[in-house]
Structure 1
Amino acid sequence: MASTHVNPTRMELTKQKKKLATAVRGHKLLKDKRDELMRQFLELVRVNKALREKVERGIGAANQNFVMARAAMEDEYLAAALMTPKQEVTLDAGARNVMSVEVPQFSYRTRTSDPGDIYSYGFAFTSSELDGAVKSLADVLPDLLQLAECEKACQLMAAEIEKTRRRVNALEHVMIPETQENIRYITMKLDENERSTQIRLMKVKDMMLEQAHHYKERQAAD
Structure 2
Amino acid sequence: MASTQINPTRMELTRQKKKLATATRGHKLLKDKRDELMRQFLDLVRENKALRQKVEAGLAAANKNFVLAKAATSDQVLNTALLAPRQEVSLDTETRNVMSVEIPVFRCKTRTADPADIYSYGFAFTSSDLDGAVRSLAELLPDMLRLAEVEKSCQLMAAEIEKTRRRVNALEHVMIPAAQEKIKYISMKLDENERSTQIRLMKVKDMMLEEARQERIREDAEQGIIIG
TM-score for the superposition, normalised by structure 2: 0.95
SS in 2 for 1:97: strand
SS in 1 for 2:6: coil
By how many angstroms is 1:220 displaced? 2.3
Q: In the alignment, which residue of structure 2 is the partner of 1:78?
A: 78
Q: Deviations over 1:84-116 (max 9, x none)?
A: 111100000011111111110101000000111
How big is the shift at 1:174?
A: 0.4
The one-character-per-residue Cα deviations of 1:27-69 (angstroms, maximum 9, x if unpaired) are 1111111111111111111100000000001111110011011
Aligned to 1:199: 199
1:157-172 equivalences in 2 (<5 Å): 157-172=157-172
In the alignment, the residues of structure 1 paired with residue 140 and residue 197 of structure 2 have an alpha-carbon distance, to the nearest angstrom, of 82
Alignment of 1:80-159 (within 5 A): 80-159=80-159
Letter in 1 for 2:118: I
Q: Which AA in structure 1 matches 2:28?
A: K
* Aligned-partner Cα distance in 2 for 1:92–1:61: 28
CA distance in 2, matches of 1:109, 1:212: 102
In structure 1, distance between residues paired with 2:199 and 2:36? 56
Other structure's SS at 2:2 match: coil
> Aligned partners of 1:185, 1:155: CA distance in 2, in Å?
44
> Percentage identity across aligned positions?
75
Which letter maps to 2:102?
E
More moved, 23-32 vs 173-182:
23-32
Distance 1:139 1:29 in 2: 43
Match of 1:52 in 2: 52
Distance 1:115 1:131 in 2: 12
Q: Which amino acid aligns with 1:113?
A: A
Is the partner of 1:108 in helix, strand or coil? strand
- What is the CA–CA distance in structure 1 between the aligned matches of 2:73 and 2:5, rounded to whole Å? 84
Match of 2:225 in 1: none
Q: 1:196 to 1:3 in 2, by over 3 A?
A: closer
Matched letter for residue 180 of structure 2: Q
1:217 shift after superposition: 2.1
Aligned-pair distance for 1:3? 5.5
Matches within 5 A, 1:202-221: 202-221=202-221
Match of 1:96, SS state, is strand
Report the alpha carbon displacement of residue 203 of structure 1 after superposing the two structures with TM: 1.0
- What is the one-letter code of the residue matched to 1:16? Q
Structure 1: stretches of 5+ with no match in the other structure: none
* SS across alignment from 2:84: coil
Per-residue Cα deviation, 1:129-182 (whole angstroms, up to 9, x for no partner) = 111111111010000000000000111111111111101100100011000001
Partners of 2:216 and 2:131 lie apart in 1 by 124
- Find the structure with the greater CA-based Rg: 2
Q: Show the 5 A alignment for 1:168-183.
A: 168-183=168-183
**RMSD across aligned positions (CA):** 1.0
Who is 2:6 aligned against? 6
Structure 2 counterpart of 1:23, which letter?
A
Aligned length: 222
